[in-house]
Amino acid sequence: MKKADKKLVVKYEDKEVIELKPFGLAASLEPHRPVMIFKSLCEKYTAGVPLSALEGGIMISQSHQGNASSPHGLSLKALEAVGLQPVKCFFKEIRGSFLYVDVEFDGHEKITRLTSRADEALSFCMRAGALFYSSLEMIQKCKELEASHLQGYKVDALMGSIGTRENKHPYLM
């Protein structure tokens, strides 16, 4: 990491982490598992986080400017009513085929941090305006996680999943 990049480093659990910004949502070769792309503020590092189809849909819905509805609206209002605010989301570890995050909260002494699967928490954190952080090691592990999902796919299966099979339903595009 260059000296200029060091200014963007934060400490988290004795690790150096960098802030990431949501960059976009990408289709994966697995049609039911879109990937949320995050970039470092210096735009040097990129992490892809596999999501569930539901979480991907929520991300798309929330990304539109204006008052997009969100399934998290009520939850955030309830948290706000008791003075609790999600402020940071740290990419923590990979267990099996899932990335786990720590969501850090301000406003209450009993609830300061909760751990969750990333594919269940990212849209919530985005809607709340939380900041995202990851170590460089975790960014690399995210890349390895995404690559591991592609192992074992046959070219025929991949081509079929992106629309080269016969369309059995002509009224659907």
Lowest mean pLDDT among 3-7, 37-41, 140-144: 3-7
Q: Is residue 118 assigned to a domain?
A: yes
Total number of domains in the chain = 1
DSSP helix/strand/coil, 129: coil
Q: What pLDDT is attached to residue 5? A: 53
pLDDT (tens digit per residue) in 100-135:
999 999 998 889 999 999 999 999 999 999 999 999
Can you give the CATH number for the domain in which 111 is found? 3.10.690.10
Give the β-pairing of 85-95 and 35-40.
unpaired
Q: Is residue 160 assigned to a domain?
A: no
Hey, which bits of 2-112 come out as E strands? 9-12, 15-26, 35-40, 46-50, 85-95, 98-106
Q: Is residue 172 assigned to a domain?
A: no
Task: Return the number of other C-beta atoms located less than 10 Å from residue 107's C-beta.
Answer: 14
Residue range of the domain that includes 65: 3-152
With beta carbons less than 8 A apart as the criterion, state whether 5 and 42 touch.
yes
What's the whole-model pTM score?
Answer: 0.78
